[in-house]
Structure 1
Amino acid sequence: MAEVTIRYFAAARAAAGESTATAQADSVKELVDTVSVGRPELGRVLGICSFLLDGERVDLTAPLSDGAQVDALPPFAGG
């Protein structure tokens, strides 16, 4: 398994109660599942997020490698 960093933004940060975390996972989906254990609100927010892997947009099936950085970006509105 890869050790990766996930950075939370906006509603994801509020639900996580932290701005970053590290976890071990082989895919973005596995990372989401791992960090959501025991935190249903975080799981709900991550379920509607877009994800960047080292700055590139990816889907939940994207594989992870050691040292990767995943950004969790909830939908937001602005003007």
Structure 2
Amino acid sequence: MTASAHAVIELRYFAAAAQAAGRAEERLEAAGPLTLAGLREQLAGRGVEMARIISISTFLVNGLSTPADSLAPLADGDRVDVLPPFAGG
């Protein structure tokens, strides 16, 4: 499979991230190359609360913990989970 400039990324939001996003999941179409760092910046631009949640969240890309500042390109069909800190016990 060849790399494409167009990718559809599946996003799943949990707990406070879902509340800030107003949904539990969405599909994001990227017109060009996209990294997790770039995705975080894009999501943070959606509003003050989303920016706050994104800044304290951890991220899984296809089930693997990934540094929030990762510059590795995301590929078509990748799944990104946004996990804010969880409280309770």
TM-score interval (norm. to shorter):
0.7 to 0.9
Residue 36 of structure 1 and its aligned partner are, at CA, apart by 2.8
Instruction: Report what 2:55 is aligned to.
Output: 47
CA gap of 1:36–1:21, structure 2 versus 1, over 3 A, is farther
Instruction: Report what 1:73 is aligned to.
Output: 83
Cα distance in 2 for partners of 1:29, 1:3 equals 16
Q: CA RMSD in A?
A: 1.6
**TM-score (normalizing by structure 1):** 0.86
Among all aligned residue pairs of Structure 1 and Structure 2, give the percentage whose two residues are the same amino acid.
39
After the TM superposition, which segments of 4 or more aligned residues of structure 1 sit over 6 Å from their partners? Answer: none
CA contact (8 A) 2:43 2:54 kept: no
| Mapping 1:50-61, distance limit 5 Å | 50-60=58-68, 61=70
Residue 70 of structure 1 and its aligned partner are, at CA, apart by 0.2
Counterpart of 1:5 in structure 2: which amino acid? E
Q: What do the CA deviations read for 1:18-52 (whole angstroms, capped 9, x no partner)? A: 11122226111111222232322111101100100
Gaps of 5+ in 1: none
Counterpart of 1:75 in structure 2: which amino acid? P
Gaps of 5+ in 2: none
Cα distance in 2 for partners of 1:12, 1:38 equals 12
| Mapping 1:1-79, distance limit 5 Å | 1=5, 2-23=7-28, 24=30, 26-60=34-68, 61=70, 62-79=72-89
**TM-score (normalizing by structure 2):** 0.78
- Report the count of equivalent residues: 79
